[in-house]
């Protein structure tokens, strides 16, 4: 039969001859002698895929020459450059966070207002011995702030006014500062209060200072209650005598006190007096 499938003349028997395509015909070139020193192509067993012309062409021509120009498209340096930029940005963010946390930690805390209590002044001289030894006399202080007892004598005027006992005493700071304290004890708190009221009335307070003038001493007059053990035990009154001194008069139960001191010290001396 013929190749068309229709009956035809018989062909003589012989080895099969593969059909020759135009490509195969073009590839049939006379063999050339091998060039000395040139690498020999590896031999491939007959019948394998590598032995076909297409496989040979793939082995020979698929590799690009080493010096071939780069293919068009994205440059090879672009990806490493992008990675480097991302790393730098991340490092900058981490550094900023660390510095910010350090600033918060090292920041100085806000200032807190504090009250500084200066120590009370103390005398620079020794007090003298008080002659009287009664319970009331022993309870009287020998030092008050920077002042120490210098003299102590009975107060005849207060005794004549009804005091059971009374004393006039002076305190000195070792220099020009002097304090005079008159103290007495009455039989009842009412008698002590009445006598103290006469003392307060006898002290003429100084005129009110000029508001434009700078204050040089405590704000006076001052008045209030004297407390002992949380209960009211008497009253006090402190005034400016107008001669550079202040006068404080107070009662404490059956006792009465009148102190004259430098104006700048009168309030502190009253507060520091133990009775």
- Name residues whose C-beta falls within 8 Å of residue 57's C-beta, 6 or more positions apart in sequence: none
> What's this model's pTM, rounded to 2 decimal places?
0.58
pLDDT tens sequence across 3-25: 444 343 444 444 454 555 454 54
* Widest Cα–Cα separation across the chain: 180
CB 130 within 8 A of CB 108: no
pLDDT tens sequence across 215-260: 566 889 999 999 998 999 999 999 999 899 999 999 999 999 999 9
Which of 53-57, 155-159, 172-176, 177-181 has the least mean pLDDT? Answer: 53-57
Asked if CATH classification 3.40.1000.20 holds for the domain at 135-206+217-272, the reply, yes or no, is: yes
pLDDT tens sequence across 112-132: 666 666 678 999 999 999 999
Ordered by start, the domain boundaries in the chain are 135-206+217-272
CB 6 within 8 A of CB 35: no
The chain-wide mean pLDDT, for the chain, equals 77
> What are the distances in angstroms from CA 202 to CA 58, 190, 198, 241?
133, 19, 6, 11
- Most confident range (mean pLDDT) of 38-42, 73-77, 193-197 is 193-197
Q: What is the CB neighbour count within 10 angstroms for residue 218?
A: 16
């Amino acid at each position: 039969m013929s190749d068309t499938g229709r009956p035809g003349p018989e062909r003589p028997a012989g080895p099969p001859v593969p059909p020759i395509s135009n490509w195969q015909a073009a590839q049939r070139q006379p063999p050339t002698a091998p060039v000395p020193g040139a690498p020999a192509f590896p031999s491939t067993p007959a019948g394998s895929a590598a032995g076909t012309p297409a496989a040979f062409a793939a082995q020979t021509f698929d590799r690009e020459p080493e010096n071939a120009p780069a293919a068009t498209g994205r440059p090879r340096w672009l990806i490493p450059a992008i990675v480097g930029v991302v790393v730098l940005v991340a490092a900058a963010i981490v550094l900023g966070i660390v510095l910010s946390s350090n600033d918060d930690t090292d920041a100085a805390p806000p200032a807190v207002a504090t009250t500084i209590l200066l120590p009370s002044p103390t005398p620079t001289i020794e007090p003298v011995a008080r002659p009287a030894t009664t319970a009331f006399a022993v309870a009287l202080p020998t030092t008050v702030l920077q002042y120490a007892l210098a003299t102590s004598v009975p107060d005849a005027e207060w005794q004549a006014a009804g005091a059971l006992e009374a004393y006039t005493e002076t305190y000195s700071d070792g220099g020009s500062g002097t304090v005079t304290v008159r103290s007495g004890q009455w039989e009842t708190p009412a008698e002590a209060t009445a006598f103290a009221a006469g003392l307060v009335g006898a002290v003429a307070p100084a005129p009110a200072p000029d508001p434009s003038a700078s204050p040089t001493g405590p704000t006076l007059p001052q008045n209030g209650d004297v407390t002992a053990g949380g209960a009211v035990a008497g009253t006090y009154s402190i005034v400016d005598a107008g001669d550079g001194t202040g006068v404080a008069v107070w009662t404490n139960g059956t006792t009465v006190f009148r102190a004259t001191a430098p104006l700048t010290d009168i309030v502190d001396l009253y507060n520091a007096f133990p009775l």
